[in-house]
Structure 1
Amino acid sequence: MSSSRTRSATFVALAAAAAVTLTACGGGDSDTSSKSSKDNKDKTSDAATHTVRDAMGDVKVPDSPKRVVVLDTDALDSAVTLGVTPVGASTVVEEAPFSTYLPEDKLKGIKPIGVIGEPNLEAINALKPDLILGSKVRYEKHYKSLSAIAPTVFSETTGPTWRKNFDLHADALGQKNEAKKVVSDYEAHIKRLTDALGGPAEAKKTKVGFVRFIEGADTRLYLNDTFVGSILKDLQVGRPANQDTDGFSLDVSPEQIDKANADVVFYSTYGDPKKAKETQTTGGPLWKKLDAVKNKKTYKVDDNLWMLGIGYTGAGMILDEMEKSYGGAAE
């Protein structure tokens, strides 16, 4: 493998690992120049505006923002889904790609403005944004400085609230009408797959689980308060009793993988399969005793997409993968 491909793979792996963390990231705050802030505010005041209620209160934003900076991966998905190319976006690690699942042509021209949780305020200010989208959980400490640069809209958190966050982003972007079609298309996609599974009643009879092997950590069985968990809930499929609960994940060792028992298992791997204990676990006797394994209903999926695709575009691509594997097998 070439050095550039190796470097890209490393970025993707690091990004996928960081994407599942819903706690606020570190990073110091700093001041922006009063002149630049005043210039940005003056530009906002010259345009037609509307008020958005977000996690921080009421925010007056331009009706049609032209220069948008996004601080989280779900905000990037929202913007691209609605046909908006941001002028700036965060990366999970320095020099990492903004996304590996969103179309490359939709990301052209975007400038990096720091890593997630640690915004480069000077870089953001230099882009002269008229709107900044982020989350309170990661950026509350920077809110004052960001708001001095441009109107700043924060969701409360990321992950399982992705649909609510999308509605907030659409409102801030002045794209509420366009958002209705996106939601409608997703709901139609959900219905199509649920119907392929025999309808809600039949879908509920099948227990579906998601397993993630992680280099440097225990294996995770994903619960309901996750992006993946929310999609499974939308599909109205059944869930194993130990995973059909509030929370983020049930962490297990290879010796406890029997807790992943389900009729259907989707799984992904972050990092090296051996170091993540995927090879050891899936080659062991406990894995082979899982109902899904015995019935050949285990499906390995793209870790980067399923962990970073937090939005309607990402969710649609996940449904496509499910439709080709699980949905197709159910027909």
Structure 2
Amino acid sequence: MVFSSRALRTATVLAAAAVTLTACGATGATTGSKDSAGGSFKATDCPAQPKTAWAKPADGAHTVPTAMGDVKVPADPKRVVVLDTAELDSVLTLGVKPVGATHADVASGFLAYLPKEKVAGIKDVGTIGSPDLEAVAALKPDLILTSKVRDGQRYEQLKKIAPTVMTETTGYPWKQNFATHADALGKIPEGKKAAAAYEKHAAQVTDALGGAEAAAKRTTNVVRFVEGADTRVYGCQSYIGTLLDDIGTAPTDVVKNAKDGLMTEVGPEQITRADADAVFYSAYGSPEKSKESQVTGGALWKNMKAVKSGHTFRVSDQLWLQGIGYTAADKILDELQKDLTK
């Protein structure tokens, strides 16, 4: 039986989606660190991350399977608009400068970890989750990248402006989302190269920690103080959780039992649940309004083993928790290696 290239591409992505759902639902799935002989000696207790499915490179205009159905995209889009931080990270990683992008709710507009020369000249088209559609249309884009969770309710309007490629969501499936972005941009080879470089970098961090066995004996947590909400400890199926899983450090119970695999929320009196061999923390909002100052200045925080051993590290919220992509991940891996080898 002969299948069309479109059918094969669609089947590939649907298969990847099935793997993702299986991984998210299989609470017993684990990934194991392996020694140099290939023998598994310790499961991380995090669900196995789904393998990224890459479409075949296309010649000319082609169809991309998306959360909203098949979308035909141009061969070499020149005027791309992105409506979230993950999409902005993706296009810049792939060497494409968008003509427009939404901004995060930060003073710097576009996230500060992105090189200034790469974001210079990009038109601001509104806030993430509420883009200015007139501003988007005025740029005459030939491709729009976003996600259903952000802009699904605006899909009909967006697709009238330009072909709109939406992934289902953001965060945990970021590697597969990146592959979809690469497909839409006609940058599959570049995408695979970026993914391979990341895997190599993660392995180098593991080696710097003494190898997979040594890394698996160390627990790490990422804590986020949030203005107007309880403090969050991020789970295995969060963006930052995948990075920790990729370098092979072990999750704590609060991570393994995170709601929907994403996060566990704790009040100030429960902050010791976030303790680990190393704790990385950030604040969304001011240190005072997010309760960072109050918690980190309190007795419970000061009594945690990570604090007593000097292994708590304040990190950039924009980089660690808002960026989501290979450019951000590369910088985070550098910081992980520096801090965990102190």
Q: In structure 2, which of residues 290, 295, 299 is the aligned counterpart of residue 276 of structure 1?
A: 290
RMSD between superposed Cα atoms in Å: 1.7
CA distance in 2, matches of 1:92, 1:296: 32
Could you tell me the percent identity over the aligned residues? 54
Q: In structure 1, which of residues 94, 107, 120 is the aligned counterpart of residue 132 of structure 2?
A: 120
Q: What 5-or-longer segments of structure 2 have no aligned partner?
A: 1-58
Q: Which has the higher contact order (CA 8 A, sep 6+)?
A: 1
Is 1:325 the counterpart of 2:339 in the alignment?
Answer: yes
Alignment partner of 2:280: what SS?
strand
Q: In structure 2, which of residues 148, 163, 177 is the aligned counterpart of residue 136 of structure 1?
A: 148
Larger helix fraction of residues:
1
The residue number in structure 2 matching 1:315 is: 329
Structure 2-normalised TM-score?
0.79
CA distance in 2, matches of 1:281, 1:322: 23
CA distance in 1, matches of 2:286, 2:134: 36
Q: In structure 2, which of residues 192, 195, 209 is the aligned counterpart of residue 183 of structure 1?
A: 195
Alignment partner of 2:279: what SS?
strand
The residue number in structure 2 matching 1:19 is: none
The residue number in structure 2 matching 1:222 is: 234
Amino acid at match of 1:286: L
Q: Does the 8 Å CA contact 2:158/2:164 hold for their aligned counterparts?
A: yes
Alignment partner of 1:69: what SS?
strand
Alignment partner of 2:199: what SS?
helix
Cα deviations across residues 83-119 of structure 1 (Å, max 9, x unaligned)? 1000011123498622211111111221122221222
Amino acid at match of 2:178: F
Amino acid at match of 2:254: N
Is 1:290 the counterpart of 2:304 in the alignment?
Answer: yes
Q: Does the 8 Å CA contact 1:94/1:114 hold for their aligned counterparts?
A: no
1:303, distance to aligned residue in structure 2 (A) = 1.5
Cα deviations across residues 126-147 of structure 1 (Å, max 9, x unaligned)? 1111111010111111111111
Is 1:301 the counterpart of 2:315 in the alignment?
Answer: yes
Amino acid at match of 1:278: E
Structure 1-normalised TM-score?
0.81
Alignment partner of 2:253: what SS?
coil
1:286, distance to aligned residue in structure 2 (A) = 1.6
The residue number in structure 1 matching 2:79 is: 67
CA distance in 1, matches of 2:161, 2:103: 20
Aligned residues: 282
Residues 192, 142 of structure 1: CA spacing in aligned structure 2 closer, same or farther, 3 A cutoff?
same
Alignment partner of 1:134: what SS?
strand
CA distance in 2, matches of 1:310, 1:100: 13
CA distance in 2, matches of 1:262, 1:94: 29
Alignment partner of 1:163: what SS?
helix
Q: How does 1:20-169 map to 2 (within 5 A)?
A: 48-93=60-105, 97-169=109-181
Residues 67, 193 of structure 1: CA spacing in aligned structure 2 closer, same or farther, 3 A cutoff?
same
Residues 95, 221 of structure 1: CA spacing in aligned structure 2 closer, same or farther, 3 A cutoff?
closer
Q: What 5-or-longer segments of structure 1 have no aligned partner?
A: 1-46
Amino acid at match of 2:307: V
After TM superposition, the structure 1 stretch with the greater mean CA deviation from structure 2, 181-190 or 90-99, is 90-99
CA distance in 2, matches of 1:200, 1:54: 36
Residues 321, 166 of structure 1: CA spacing in aligned structure 2 closer, same or farther, 3 A cutoff?
same
1:62, distance to aligned residue in structure 2 (A) = 1.0
Is 1:235 the counterpart of 2:280 in the alignment?
Answer: no
Q: Does the 8 Å CA contact 1:211/1:265 hold for their aligned counterparts?
A: yes
Q: Does the 8 Å CA contact 1:88/1:124 hold for their aligned counterparts?
A: yes
User: Runs in 1 of length 4+ with deviation above 6 angstroms?
Assistant: none
